[in-house]
Structure formats: C-alpha cells, structure tokens
C-alpha cells in the first residue's frame, strides 16, 4: 500500500474514532437544554405542549427546582407542569368550598416571602388536586402534606403525585379538616389555608383548632380571611379585619402580619 494512501486511511480512521467518542445527547440533556433556553414570555400553553413532546415530568421539574436559584423560572415551570394535571371543580358538600383554579404564582410569592430554612414540613388544608402540595416540595420543604375532603380530588392528587408518595416526600390524607384528629396539625412547620369551608363559623372553628395544636415556631397562612369576626368570638383574641393573614406561634403566644407585607411587621395578638 502506498504511503500516502496509508496515511489517508489512518486519518479517516482516527476521525471516525473521534466522532464515536463524542457524547450523544440523552433525553435528560435535551430536557435540560429546553428548560435553560425557555423564554419566560412564552405562553404557558406553548410550554406545556413542549413539555409533553419532551416527556418532561413532575419529577424533572422538582429536580430542576432543587438546583435552580432563579425564582421566576421555577415559578413558571411549576405552574406549567402542574397545570396539566386533572382537576375536579364540582361541589361534593354544600358546606365546603369546591376546588378552584388556583394561581400558583401567588402561592410561590408567599413561599418566597415566608419560608425559612427551618421550615421542613408543609400542610395544605383543602389541598384539592395537590398543586400546592407539589409546589411546596419544589420550594424546598422536605415533606409536604395535603388534607382534602373530596374523595375524587384525593384520587387525582394521589395519582399525579404517586412517585413522590412512594418516596415518602408527599402524603395525601382524606379527611374532614374540622373533625379529623388534631395530631395532623401538631408537627407541621407551615400550614396553608384558602378558606376551604364556606360557613364562617365552621371556618373559625377550624382555625381555632389549628392554633390550639400548632407547635411553637409554626406558621399559619390564611389567604382568604373572611371570618375574623367569628374567630374573635371563639378565641377572644383581637384579630383584625383583613383579607388574608399570617399567624406565627412563639413561646405560646400568637403574632400576626399581612402576607402582602414586605417588612414582616409582626404584632402580638392581644385580647
């Protein structure tokens, strides 16, 4: 074989070897590239279709959120991925509020404002299809719980979140929030409410039950506080009239502020 021909063949062989050594993109690489290049201005429906085509899962977004420090992107992806989960907006009990299409961006804003590294466990009372239970996990809680009255919504959330339930990161409880054992409220760091009961007297009863059982250091976030008058009557505490309220317990005393407040001006709840 002529020397020139031999050199050409050797060069071709080396080139082929180099090409074979190049890393082939995996599905995980493609998903990561998609998440990194997504424009925040892209409509949610468009992102959801792209997520479907790439088979982006709830677990993928959860893992992304654990690594990312970009609040806007995390909030966007949480909203998009869980927006694909089935919901059930029928009323099963006239005393209880039916599920709503909740704005997870607002929930994310509240978590950014109030969650601290000491907050490890989260409970959503009236958890619906599990959207806030999942979102809380993405925002850094080690374990997230949902308490829901509707059997249908419990089934939906358990199906959507089965992988996290198997990993014991999430637990969905089917129960009446007023009648259930108070133990469910005793060890949670953050308890979240969006007035799941229509009757203000029952709602005040529930809030009082939670306050009586929440631990020192715990935080109660009520995002629809329409029952201040009834709660004042039950607790004899001077709850102010406000659209929403954050309550924390320290040294067996209660303090409150507005979830919308940027300065967290905590005031003691006196009698």
Residue 14 counted as domain residue: no
pLDDT tens across 105-127, in order?
889 999 999 999 999 999 999 99
Using the structure block, give the residue that is written with the tokens 């060890």: 187
Q: Are residues 194 and 68 in the same domain?
A: no
Q: Are residues 199 and 133 in the same domain?
A: yes
Q: Are residues 72 and 120 in the same domain?
A: no
Q: Are residues 61 and 137 in the same domain?
A: no
pLDDT tens across 191-227, in order?
999 988 889 999 999 999 999 999 999 999 999 999 9
CATH for 172: 3.40.50.150
Using the structure block, give the residue that is written with the tokens 């961006």: 105
Domain that holds residue 74: 23-82
Q: Are residues 46 and 173 in the same domain?
A: no
Residue 236 CA to chain centroid, in angstroms?
A: 33
Phi, psi dihedral angles at 143 (to 5 degrees):
-145, 140
Residue 171 counted as domain residue: yes
Q: Are residues 157 and 217 in the same domain?
A: yes
Residue 60 counted as domain residue: yes
pTM: 0.87
Q: Are residues 146 and 110 in the same domain?
A: yes
**Domain count along the chain:** 2
Q: Are residues 58 and 108 in the same domain?
A: no
Residue 18 counted as domain residue: no
Q: Exposed (0-12), middle (13-18) or buried (19+): which is 257, by Cβ within 10 Å?
A: middle
């Amino acid at each position: 074989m002529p020397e020139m021909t031999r050199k050409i063949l050797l060069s071709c062989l080396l080139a082929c070897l180099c090409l074979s050594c190049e890393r082939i993109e995996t599905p995980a690489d493609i998903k990561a590239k998609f998440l990194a290049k997504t424009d925040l201005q892209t409509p949610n429906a468009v992102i959801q279709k792209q997520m479907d085509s790439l088979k982006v899962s709830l677990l993928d977004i959860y893992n992304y959120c654990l690594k990312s420090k970009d609040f806007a992107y995390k909030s966007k992806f949480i909203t998009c991925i869980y927006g694909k989960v089935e919901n059930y907006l029928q009323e099963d009990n006239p005393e209880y509020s039916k599920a709503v299409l909740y704005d997870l961006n607002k929930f994310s804003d509240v978590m950014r404002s109030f969650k601290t590294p000491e907050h490890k466990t989260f409970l959503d009372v009236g958890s619906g299809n599990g959207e806030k239970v999942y979102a809380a996990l993405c925002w850094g809680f080690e374990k997230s719980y949902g308490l829901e009255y509707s059997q249908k919504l419990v089934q939906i959330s358990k199906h959507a979140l089965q992988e996290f339930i198997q990993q014991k990161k999430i637990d969905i409880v089917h129960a009446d929030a007023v009648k259930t054992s108070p133990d469910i409220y005793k060890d949670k760091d953050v308890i979240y409410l969006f007035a799941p009961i229509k009757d203000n007297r029952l709602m005040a009863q529930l809030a009082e039950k939670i306050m009586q059982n929440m631990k020192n250091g715990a935080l109660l976030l009520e995002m629809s506080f329409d029952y201040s008058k009834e709660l004042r009557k039950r607790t004899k505490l001077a709850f102010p009239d406000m659209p929403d309220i954050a309550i924390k317990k320290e040294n067996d005393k209660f303090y409150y502020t507005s979830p919308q407040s940027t300065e967290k001006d905590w005031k003691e709840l006196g009698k």
